[in-house]
Amino acid sequence: MYDNNNLPNVKLLIGSLHWLRRVRNSCAHNERVYCIHQTQVRNNSASGRILDPYYTQLPASYSRCTEKNIFDLLVYFKYYLPKEEFTPMITELKNMLVELQNTLQPNAF
C-alpha cells in the first residue's frame, strides 16, 4: 500500500488493520458482516478506501461511495495474501455465490 509518492502509506495500513479487526470481531460475536460499514473520517483520506485499480472496472455508483464495506475486505486480502492463496479463495467465493444465486429466488439475490 503506497501513496502517490510511491512511499509506504502507514495510515492506510493502520486503517485497513482496524477494518479487518472490526470484521473479525463481528464474526466472533456472530453478527452480520454483509451490512457493516465504516464512514470515512473527514479530512482523513487514509480512513477511507484503498484506491485499487480494480475500482475503475466497477459501476460509478460503487466507486463514488467512500464507506468501507465487506467488499473492501476482499481488496485488503489482495494486498495481504500471497497470490497462490488469494486466487483460489476468490474462485471459491465466486463458486459459492453462483451456487447461492441458483438456490435463491432471482429477486432475493
Tell me how far apart the alpha carbons of residues 66 and 51 are, in angstroms, rounded to a whole number. Answer: 10
Residue-level pLDDT at 105: 85
Residue pointed to by grid coordinates 476468490: 90
Q: Residue 46, class by beta-carbon neighbours within 10 Å (0-12 exposed, 13-18 middle, 19+ buried)?
A: middle
State the cell numbers at 6.
Answer: 510511491
State the cell numbers at 16.
Answer: 485497513
10-residue averages of pLDDT along the chain (109 residues): 76 83 89 78 57 67 70 83 94 93 81
Residue-level pLDDT at 42: 58
Tell me how far apart the alpha carbons of residues 102 and 49 are, in angstroms, rounded to a whole number. Answer: 31
Listed by start position, the domains of the chain span 10-103
